Chain A
Amino acid sequence: MGKRLNGLAVRIGRLKFINPVMAASGTFGYGQEYKELVRIDGLGAIVTKSITLKPLKGNAPPRIWESTAGMLNAIGLQNDGIEDFLANRLPFLKDLNTRIIASIAGKCRQEYKELAKRLESAPVDAIEINISCPNVEHHGSARLFAQDAKETAGIVRAVRKATKKTVITKLSPNVTDITEIAKAAEGAGTDAISLINTLIGMDVDITTQRPRLANITGGLSGPAIKPVALRMTWEVYQAVKIPIIGIGGIMSTEDALAFFLCGARAIQVGTANFVNPQTITSIIDGISNYLKKNRLKSIQELTGRLKI
């Protein structure tokens, strides 16, 4: 692999990324878990497992169930809280030659704001606001903040006020019109939108007549959801001006390129990390080769180039 991967750099907010391929939140831990398997320095970014103010113990097991070309999960945002993140997880992350995006999750606006404040002086490059985890209960009327345009805007505004860092808002596909939520986030000052989080689903064991997950429902991820993610990327691309980070079932370079064509400026790889930890590095190489083969100067030339 060449030292300089020409044409792969992208800009999101005020941040430049060496390439547009990131590890999605919840699928790459805090980087350390994969250090023996993956050359982490070459990744575009690592989005951390979502961080909450206080430690969360998460949902009862069983927490995962495999479905056709996908998996359901209901982890319930288990994490040791912001203090632990700053003291024990960040020291490893900060020395990496890759962008660190801290994913934050709160029970209310105030908690998101507090988390952003606490991260302001920390060596993380950006914040991804997770308002779309389907496996935790929230206050307020909507089940997920990302299902309510007003709630979304309120949280984004609160975080925006608390930080100068690049702010990314992660949206849920479990909505009637995702463009409405995307526009609300854009209006409230988010630098970028990442989409999609998991689709709410469930599965049943007909022998015991019980749900497969203790939480009953869980979030569906993996290649099964890619068509939905592509459709939503395309819809949101036409509705907002800010950059979109495409997520949802990306397993290969071909999958990744489809997201760029639908309007993504960058992409995140999630479930594929479990299947093959080399996925991200192979997609980075794959995009590089694609650019050379098609005589494209930059991956950015591909964003939104879908021919209708």
Chain B
Amino acid sequence: MKQVKAEILLNKEIADSHFKMVLDLGKLNLFIKPGQFLHIKAGSAYDPLLRRPISIHRIGSNPNIVELLYKIEGKGTQLMSRRSKGTYLDIIGPLGNGFKVPKGQSNFILVAGGMGIAPLMALADNLARFRKRIITVILGARTKDFIICKKELRDIGAKVIVVTEDGSEGEKGLATDVLESIIEQFDLRKSATALKKKHAKGITIAEYGPEVGLYACGPLGMLKAIAVIAKYYTMQAQASFEERMGCGVGACLGCVIQTKAGYKRVCKDGPVFDLEEIAWERD
């Protein structure tokens, strides 16, 4: 983690209130993991006062060039959207834990709800660097205008399934509506059966084992639904969470979420958590 002045190389509106920003972090040789974020001071004034945590969307072949995807939600992102090319942003990063890809995993199902594609694109990019990996991405959006990264994902060899709430493109519904059929489509039950035979006992429902993984980012309701599906299929599932942050480095304890092991910091222990860790009772 470092604090630097990052040069804005591009800041462009790609859909209504949705922006893509490219930053040059300088010659830092930072090792950035998909799922990590930057803590950004959008302006120098005291309103807004705090930094804004923004997921790293893509990491360039030169790892000092990173792409962010953000949506105007309030004063901070509003200010960011007005910053012009060639100016500098005060950033701290990379922060957070990032996604972890277990060894031997070969099937990856990524579920993005709306802006949830922001950190998942970096993960898809990373996964696609290795052959023999099957990447399927469910892109859920309100309407076809907010489907982001469809082409980029196809370019890297991922299978993309589009779901829109109004049915203006792809299937009509929510990202989670198609998730189960996607899981079936992979014919994973076959390998599950094989696995079941292998172990002979103790497995009551389809046991996918570590070769299939679910990765998600999106609204809490979506993540909760995915947690239920992952539990049913005993699939390994990770999700990137969002919370309002103070320090971003684990000091202020302002951004905690409730897990089965107590409150955990989204900025430091997360933002990526195993979905089975999360305690959903409060909702």
Contacts and interface: CB of A to CB of B under 8 A. Distances in A.
Contact of B49 (A57, A63, A222, A273): A222
A28 interface: yes
Given A69-B46, A222-B49, A58 B41 contact: no
A251 to B, nearest CB: 7
A208 interface: no
Contact of B251 (A28, A66, A71, A223): A28
A68 interface: yes
B251 A34 contact: yes
Contact of A60 (B41, B246, B252, B282): B282
Given A57-B262, A223-B46, A271-B49, A27 B253 contact: no
A218 B163 CA distance: 41
A64 B49 contact: no
B246 A29 contact: no
A75 B246 CA distance: 11
A274 B245 CA distance: 9
A27 B262 contact: no
A90 B147 CA distance: 50
B50 A275 contact: yes
A70 B252 CA distance: 15
Contacts of A78: 253, 256, 263
A64 B249 contact: no
Interface residues of B, number: 32
Contact of A75 (B245, B254, B282): B254
Contact of A73 (B2, B49, B246, B268): B246
B149 interface: no
A205 interface: no
A87 interface: no
Contacts of A201: none
Interface in B239-256: 243-256
A275 B51 contact: yes
A278 B257 CA distance: 28
B49 A69 contact: yes
Given A27-B247, A65-B244, A66-B244, A75 B262 contact: no
B3 A278 contact: yes
A251 B252 contact: no
Given A57-B262, A63-B256, A277-B3, A33 B47 contact: no
A33 B49 contact: no
Interface string A244-282: 000000010000000000000000000101111110000
B276 interface: no
A58 to B, nearest CB: 6
B2 A37 contact: yes
Interface string B249-283: 11111111110001100001000000000000010
A57 B256 CA distance: 11
B72 interface: no
Contacts of B263: 57-58, 61, 78
Interface residues of A, number: 36
A34 B47 CA distance: 24
B48 interface: yes
B244 to A, nearest CB: 6
A61 B51 contact: no
Nearest to A77: B253
Interface string A20-60: 00000011110001101100000000000100000001101
A64 B1 contact: no
B92 interface: yes
B246 A277 contact: no
B176 to A, nearest CB: 24
Most chain B beta-carbon contacts within 10 A, residue among A62, A64, A65, A251: A64
A276 B3 CA distance: 9
B171 interface: no
Contacts of A69: 46-47, 49
B90 interface: yes
Interface string B121-153: 000000000000000000000000000000000
A276 B247 CA distance: 9
B256 A58 contact: yes
Interface of A: 26-29, 33-34, 36-37, 49, 57-58, 60-66, 68-71, 73, 75, 78, 222-224, 251, 271, 273-278
| The 10 nearest A-B residue pairs measured at CB | A29-B251, A64-B254, A33-B251, A69-B46, A274-B247, A274-B246, A36-B1, A33-B250, A223-B46, A33-B249
Given A274-B248, A275-B41, 5 more contacts: A61-B258, A64-B244, A69-B47, A276-B41, A277-B249
25 contacts: A26-B252, A27-B252, A28-B251, A29-B251, A33-B247, A36-B2, A57-B263, A58-B253, A58-B256, A60-B258, A63-B255, A63-B256, A64-B244, A64-B246, A68-B47, A69-B47, A73-B246, A73-B252, A75-B252, A273-B251, A274-B50, A276-B90, A277-B3, A277-B92, A277-B249
